[in-house]
Structure 1
Amino acid sequence: MLPNRYDFREAEPRLARFWELNNVYGYDPAGLGQHFTIDTPPLTVSGQLHIGHCYSYTQADAIARYRRMRGGHVYYPMGFDDNGLATERFVEKTIKHKATEIGRDAFINACLELTQQTEGRFETLWRRLSLSVDWRYRYSSISHEARRVSQWSFIQLYQQGLTYTQFAPTLWCPECQTAIAQAEVNDASLPTRFSTIAFRLPGGGILPIATTRPELLPACVAIFVHPDDPRYRHLIGKTARIDSGAFSGSPELAVPILADELADPSRGSGAVMCCTFGDSTDVRWWHTHHLPLRAAIGRDGHMTGLAGSYAGLTVQQARRRILTYLEETGQIISEETIEHDVGTHERCGTPIEYLHTRQWFIRVLDQKERLLEAGRKIRWHPEHMRIRYEHWVEHLQWDWCISRQRYFGIPFPAWICRACGETMLASLEQLPVDPQTTQPLVACACGSTDFEPEPDVMDTWATSSCTPMIIGRWIDDPAWFAQHFPASLRPQAHDIIRTWAFYTIVKSLYHTNDIPWREVMISGHGLSADRRKLSKSKEHNEVGPMEIMEKESADALRYWATTGRTGADSPLSPENIATGRRLVTKLWNASRFAESRLERFTNGARPAALLPTDRWLLSRLARTIAGATAELDRYEYAAARAEIDRFFWSDLCDNYLELAKARLYSEAGAAHYAAQWTLYQALLAVLKLLAPFLPYITEEIYQGLFRQWDGASSIHLASWPSEQPEWIDTEAEAIGETLLGLLRQVRRYKAERGQSVGAELASLRISGHLQPAQRASLEMAMVDLKSATRAKQIVLEEGAEDGGSQMLKDNELLIEV
């Protein structure tokens, strides 16, 4: 029996324990039928979870629950991405020490301890939110299995010639002191001094050079002009000079003037200095024109000895000092402040540099067409998100840099032979391996056994890109892998299309020549109330998800999370959360009413004597089931829930329960059973339709009321409502609309007179040119219309058809239909 009041604070933890004890969300690998594998995003362990995570993960969970109720065996593991730069920065911030301050081993131990604690908190929150994960399959990207897969992936790519190492200009973060990949660079618009500097020409002329980076002057190796620029064509091949006594090792800097079509005559003065390196154009010119390499900025973001007396200064300090020197020596022509686009590291916001370093890369630039073709084989939801993927692939400028100069990551399973310089790889049996503490099993081909361990670790994306292979047990269980690869679904946010989606497609193509998943569902971001994106690693003032759930319920938070359409950002909405709470309350109250009316109910065959009101509701229910099912098949969870909401609030509660109330309160008879049967079908279907969105309240009602008839151990293991095309009845829908129109006019009549909805009406006369079938249906529905309008007498009569209403005398109403 359902109690008077639903206490979510008591019920939600109790139901969570019930699901865990009964393994409700357990995956059965041997189950017959369809298996639905979800490649769930492994959460980066870099801070605390916020409502934005609840937003996107709830959407994926709604799909998992829907697929389970449709009869699929849902393999829904949860992972944690707990190695790499984001985790290192989180640990450094927490322990208040840099990794270099405490040493490699101590720092790795600190990372392992803190990530385990944090992952425990993550799991607690996910269980409270009721993600229907099978926690037996929880994994982490630093685990033994994940390291083994990641290292074996590297070895295979190396053997196929798809990965290589070289000294080359690399995107570099001076704050994190590591190389980064193109996908980790964000564009930021920053106010910058735009200075035009005077280079001297032979014969006394001046060549104006505009720059935002005067600190790179010590690394200037050439000046470029367009070969067809008439202003400078005569200078090509000559030398330009500038006084540099304070910021270089010599009193004067002399560089050649060269021609290249990449020099844009319309930008600045049209003459551009090339430094090694300020941007990707500098890299291209350096390579194309075989220019010398001059490194003015070191790995720590400080000036090198090339900067003369300014060596050791930070970039910003050197910029100010060099500009002051140039101004004092009369070498600045003009200055202005502009908004300048700067590439910054997504992890820390530091402007990136281009440094010449040794790194490992995976080839992607020569595979663009293949990668585009793979993207088109995947079904994207929403479809337009595929364009983001294609735009990223088409505009790639670098191969994928996978090496990082950090401690807490998966080591490259490789050594360098000190005798001949060859790379030695670990064997599969050795994996996972740390080359810092382990030696190769065999000697080098040259006979030497003296090896230098590969010092770097792999970028975290090099492992996260293997998640379909990690959950698919790629190395060790071919049968399991065949069952789960390609995965059925990848749910993820739109901002990591360029990283997680792209990198996973790369790895899957290279290793299996297949796509990693059949479908991708892209989520937006759950934003702060003022529409800012939230971050685990940055401070914000938003109330945490656990606090919201304790105050409003997990179901209410999930309601908000499934309000935004697929792929769209949505700010935290207290109004939507409150609407979710009201829906929970309304479900409870409607179910308590139904419980009192379903006493002695036996769920038998469809009654032969359904009234028009019953047939109307069942027809609307059939359309709602079909519509919601179709929307969920398209991953449009918000549209599906909106359909269900409309049916429950309007059709069932506001209208049908009012119309059928008299029959439901009667003690027996065919009409009474017809109303009972219709109410049972409608309310049970609503609970099942809402179960993926509101798992707690729907389970509580199911256990207390419907399980006795429906028979499943949990609503989440019950069958999804079957589509019922035979219930669709256009004539009944037309009569239903007529009844609702009559009911609205009666309610308006009472409201205008300050009467309650339940006030009695002495007489209701319905006038119009009715077809015989219409008249017969209205006469059959008379008991329901009387119940809803509280009319003592209803009279059908022939008359005009203008759709109006008028008061005949006190408490009597004429409605023309």
Structure 2
Amino acid sequence: MLPNRYQFHAVEPRLIRLWADAQTYAFDATGSGPIYTIDTPPATVSGELHLGHCYSYTQTDVIARFQRMRGRRVLYPMGFDDNGLPTERFVEKTIKRKATDMDRADFLAQCSKLTQETEDRFEKIWRRLSLSGDWNYRYSTLSSTVQRTSQWSFIQLYQSGRAYAQIAPTLWCADCQTAIAQAELEDKTLPTLFTTFAFRLPDGTSLPIATTRPELLPACVAIFVHPDDKRYKHLIDQTASIDSAAFSSQAVIQVLILADEAVDPDKGSGAVMCCTFGDSTDVRWWRIHQLPLRAAIGRDGRMTALAGPLAGLAIPAARKKILQSLAEQALILQQETIEHTVGIHERCGTPVEYLQTRQWFIRILDQKERFIEAGRQIRWTPEYMRSRYEHWVENLQWDWCISRQRFLGIPFPAWTCRACGTLLLATQEELPIDPRLKGPNRSCACGSTDFEPEMDVMDTWATSSCSPLIIGRWMDDPDWFQQHFPANLRPQGHDIIRTWAFYTIIKSLYHCNVSPWQEIMISGHALSAERSKISKSKNNSSDGPLSIIEQESADALRYWATSIKPGNDTVFNPEALAMGRRLITKLWNACRFAESRLQDLDTATLNRQPEDLLPTDRWLLSRLAHTITFATRQLEQSDYAAARAEVERFFWADLCDNYLELTKSRLYKGEGADRHAAQWTLYHTLLNVLKLFAPYIPFVTEEIYLGLFQQWDGCASIHIASWPVARDNWFDEQAENAGKLLLEIIRQVRRHKAEQGLSVGAPLESIKLTISAAEIPMLQAAQCDLQSATRAHTLDFRLQQAGDAELLAPWKMEILLSKV
């Protein structure tokens, strides 16, 4: 018996234990059904999980549960991304010490301890939310298995000529003290002082230069003008100079004036400094025009010896000093504050620099068309997200920088021979290996055994981009790999299309020459009340997931998370939680009502449809068939929100508001074939509705199933029961038309009662209906249900006559109030 009230506080933890003990969601490796593999995002260990994670991961879980009920053998592994800069900064913040201030081994020990504790908390929250992942396949990107996969990926890319080391201008974060990739660069608009100052020309006149970065003056190597700019055309190939003893190791900076079409004549003065390096344009000019390299800013974000008296100053202080010096020389011509777009590191918000450093890269710029075509082989949900991917690929300017100058990460499995400079790679048998701790097991071809280990580590994306290879056991199990690669689904946020999606496609193409998944489902973000993305770094979630779950229930939180279409952002909405609670309560009460009506259900005839269903029954079954068909189609297209909305509409309106009202008399006091028809219809409808809701609200549907429907349906859990299938004979257009007429009659009666100040349940003496001959048999067959819903003592049907021209509808109704 179902209790009077549903108590989620007791039910949800109990069912979590039940599912864990029964291995309800375990992948069936030896079964025969089709496999459905999900390349799930390994959550970054860089803070605590928040509502944004619940939002996106629940959406994936709905698809996993749907596919499992459809008979697929679902491999739904859960992983944690804990090998890179985000985790390292998280550990530094937690222990309140910088990695650079500690012994490397001690710091890595702290990382290991904290990541394990954090990942265990993550798993607890995911289980509490009822993510149906198979925890037997939990993985960490810092585990030895994953390190081995990532290192072997690098070795293969190097051997194929795709990975290379180079001393070159690199995006650099002075706060994180590491190189970064283009995908980690974000634009931020900031108020900036735009200064126009004067260089001196050989004839003593001035050449105005406008800049937002005067601190780069010591690194100035040229001035560029547009070749067609009439103001400066005569100055091309001449020199310009400026007195610089106050801010440079040189007393005078003297540079050539060169021409380049990339100069915008309408921006600033139309004459532009080229400094090594202020931005990507400086890098381009430096390469094309073979300019000298002068580095004024060091890796620590402070001025170098090139800045003379300003060496060692942080950038803001140096900028202030240089402007002061220019003002003292009366060289400032104009100053104004403008809104300026600055490139910042997404991890810490620090403006990036362009520094000449040795880094490892993966060659990608020569493969743009291939990457775009690979993206087009994948189904994108929503489809318009593919344009974001293509736009990113089309606008790439740099090869993928994969090296980082940090402690926590997977090391490059390589050494350089100190004798001859040859790079020696680890063998597959040596992996995983840390070359900083262990040398190669062989000598160099030149005979030397003296090696310099690679000291950098790989960027976290260089490893997480291997996720389909990792879960596919790429290195170790060819049969398993063939079964699970390419994966069926990649779910992820739209903010990492340019990183995780793009990088994974690169690795898949380079290693396997195929796209890594059949479909990519893009989720939106959960937003704070201020409409900013809820994130670990911003710590802007008002409540943690566990506190909301304990207060509102996991099912209610999942209801909110699946209310918005794929790809859309949404503000966290407590009203959606309330709507979820109302649905849970209504579902529970509807099933409790049905429980007492179904106690004497003839189980021998459950799978045999009664021949004498009433029009009301046939109408509901037809509506159910359409609902099942629509929901199934939408879920196959990963539109969980549209599917749920239609199931809800059917449950609230067709089943609860109308059918249960129409059939109460048959279910309460009926007997014989009419009662059996209502029982049979109610049983199949409620069971199917329960299954349609199961992927969304797994706890309450399981509790109802085990307490009521399992005795007849026979599965150990609703979540491994068969997904609803609409029977062909349920589709009945005639019954649906009949149902529309019945519902319109009921609507008119209810409106009449409201106008008379009567309750919906108030009795009526009679209802007289004038109707066409074609409708009378149906209404007569449904008379008991119509009387039940309207509370009419009698129903009188009058055949519509040819003279009834005044009728504006195919029927009219006269209602007599009860005299009681």
Query: Kindly tell me: are residues 808 and 157 of structure 1, through their superposed partners in 2, closer, same or farther at Cα, counting changes over 3 Å?
Result: closer
Counterpart residue number, 1:505: 505
Larger deviation, residues 244-253 vs 209-218: 244-253
Contact 1:527 1:533 in 2 (8 A): yes
Give per-residue Cα distances to partners, 1:38-68, cap 9 Å, x unaligned.
0000000000111010000000000000000
Q: Distance in 2 between matches of 1:808 and 1:246?
A: 100
- Tell me the residue number matched to 1:323: 323
CA RMSD in angstroms comes to: 1.2
Match of 2:761 among 758, 762, 766: 758
What amino acid does structure 1 have at the position aligned with 2:290?
Answer: H
Q: Name the residue aligned to 1:168.
A: 168
- Residue in 2 that maps onto 1:775: 776
Work out the CA distance in 2 between the residues paired with 1:559 and 1:271: 58
CA distance in 2, matches of 1:679, 1:12: 27
Q: Which amino acid aligns with 1:90?
A: F
**d(CA) in 1 for partners of 2:441 and 2:287?**
39
SS in 1 for 2:716: coil
Match of 2:615 among 599, 604, 612: 612
Query: Does residue 680 of structure 2 align to residue 672 of structure 1?
Result: no
Corresponding residue number in structure 1 for 2:343 = 343
Match for residue 733 of structure 2? 730
1:70-99 deviations in whole A, cap 9, x for unaligned? 000000000000010000110000000000
1:709-744 deviation line (CA, Å, top 9, x unaligned) = 001100001000012232111111111011111111
Q: Is the 8 A contact 2:485 2:516 kept in 1?
A: yes
Among 600, 622, 626, which residue is 1:623 paired with?
626
SS at match of 1:209: strand
Separation in 2, partners of 1:147, 1:448: 28
Deviations 1:658-692 (A, max 9, x none): 00000001252000000000000100000000000
Q: How does 1:388-467 map to 2 (within 5 A)?
A: 388-467=388-467
Quote how far apart the aligned CAs of 1:103 are. Answer: 2.2
The answer for the alignment partner of 1:75 in structure 2 is: 75
Contact 2:180–2:401, Cα closer than 8 Å, also in 1: yes
Does residue 1:534 correspond to 2:550, yes or no?
A: no
Distance 2:515 2:708 in 1: 45
- Contact map agreement 1:56 1:524 (CA 8 A) in 2: yes
Taking the aligned partners of 2:753 and 2:554, their CA distance within structure 1 comes to 39
Q: Residues 552-631 of structure 1 correspond to what in structure 2 (within 5 A)?
A: 552-603=552-603, 604=605, 605-631=608-634
Deviates more, 1:403-412 or 1:523-532: 523-532
2:429 and 2:602 map into 1 onto residues whose CA distance is 63
The corresponding residue for 2:242 is 242
The 3 A distance-change label for structure 1 pair 760 and 155 is: same
Tell me the residue number matched to 2:654: 651
Structure 1 residue 807, shift from structure 2 partner: 6.5
Q: Residue in 1 aligned with 2:98?
A: 98
Name the SS of the counterpart of 1:793 in structure 2.
strand
**2:745 alignment counterpart:** 742
1:247-281 deviation digits (Å, cap 9, x = unpaired): 00122211111111111212111110000000001
1:445 partner letter? A
CA distance in 2, matches of 1:602, 1:666: 17
Structure 1 residue 699 corresponds to structure 2 residue 702: yes
Shift, 1:113, TM fit: 0.6
The one-character-per-residue Cα deviations of 1:600-655 (angstroms, maximum 9, x if unpaired) are: 10241101100000000000000000000000011000000011000000000000
> What is the rounded CA distance, in whole Å, between the counterparts of 1:252 and 1:478 in structure 2?
66
Asked if the contact 1:628–1:641 (Cα under 8 Å) also holds between the matched residues in 2, the reply is: yes
- Distance in 1 (CA, whole Å) between partners of 2:240 and 2:564 is 59
Residues 172, 179 of structure 1: 8 Å contact kept: yes
Offset of residue 541 of structure 1? 4.6
Counterpart of 1:794?
A: 795
Q: Report the Cα distance in structure 2 between the residues aligned to 1:168 and 1:106, rounded to whole angstroms.
A: 33
**3-state DSSP of counterpart to 1:237:** coil
CA distance in 2, matches of 1:671, 1:598: 14
- After superposition, where does 1:106-505 map in structure 2 within 5 Å? 106-505=106-505
Residue 537 of structure 1 deviates from its aligned partner by: 2.1
Task: State how far apart, in whole Å, the 2-side matches of 1:17 and 1:668 are.
Answer: 42
Aligned-pair CA distance for 1:809 = 5.6
Q: Distance in 2 between matches of 1:676 and 1:495?
A: 50
Aligned to 1:64: 64
8 Å contact 2:769–2:812 — kept in the other structure?
Answer: no
CA contact under 8 A between 1:343 and 1:351: conserved in structure 2?
A: yes
Please state if 1:711 is matched with 2:717: no
- State the Cα distance separating 1:571 from its structure 2 match: 1.1
Superposition TM-score, scaled by structure 2 size = 0.98
* Distance of aligned partners of 1:151 and 1:541 in 2 relative to their CA distance in 1, 3 Å threshold: closer
Secondary structure, counterpart of 2:764 in structure 1: coil
- Give the letter aligned to residue 104 of structure 1: R
Task: Please state whether the residue corresponding to 2:165 is helix, strand or coil.
Answer: strand
* 8 A Cα contact 2:763 2:790, kept in partner: yes
* Counterpart Cα distance in 2 of 1:808 and 1:759: 13
What code does the residue aligned with 1:284 have?
Answer: R
| Paired residue type of 1:802 | L
SS in 1 for 2:564: coil
Give the AA of the match of 1:778.
L
Aligned equivalents of 2:127 and 2:411: distance in 1?
33
Code of the residue aligned with 1:779 in structure 2: it is Q
Corresponding residue for residue 85 of structure 1: 85
Letter paired with 1:424:
L
Cα shift at 1:538: 2.1
Q: Which amino acid aligns with 1:459?
A: D
Alpha-carbon distance in 2 for matches of 1:447, 1:809: 109
CA 1:223–1:495: 2 relative to 1, 3 Å:
same
Helix, strand or coil: the match of 1:410?
A: coil
Match of 1:653, SS state, is helix
Residues 382, 521 of structure 2: 8 Å contact kept? yes
1:245 shift after superposition: 1.6
CA displacement 1:512-559 (0-9 Å, x = unmatched): 111111111111111123321011122225111111111111000000
Contact 1:699 1:716 in 2 (8 A): yes
5+ residue gaps, structure 1, are: 813-817
Q: Secondary structure at the match of 2:792?
A: coil
TM normalised by structure 1 equals 0.98
SS in structure 2 at match of 1:241: strand
In structure 2, what is the Cα distance between the partners aligned to 1:699 and 1:531? 35
What is the deviation of 1:752?
2.1
SS of the residue 1:732 aligns to: helix
Structure 2 distance, partners of 1:566, 1:295, is 47
Q: Report if the CA contact (8 A) 1:745-1:805 is conserved.
A: no
One-letter identity of the residue aligned with 2:619: W
Verify the 8 A CA contact 1:48 1:537 in the aligned structure 2: no
Q: State the alpha-carbon separation in 2 of the partners of residues 459 and 327 from structure 1.
A: 44
SS in 2 for 1:446: coil
Aligned-partner SS, 1:397 = coil
Distance 1:518 1:332 in 2: 59
Deviation digits for residues 351-380 of structure 1, max 9, x if unmatched? Answer: 000000000000000011111111111111
Asked if the contact 1:162–1:362 (Cα under 8 Å) also holds between the matched residues in 2, the reply is yes
Q: Give the letter aligned to residue 227 of structure 1.
A: P
Supply the distance in 2 between the matched residues of 1:808 and 1:648 (Cα, whole angstroms): 30
Aligned-partner Cα distance in 2 for 1:200–1:536: 51
Query: CA contact under 8 A between 2:173 and 2:345: conserved in structure 1?
Result: yes
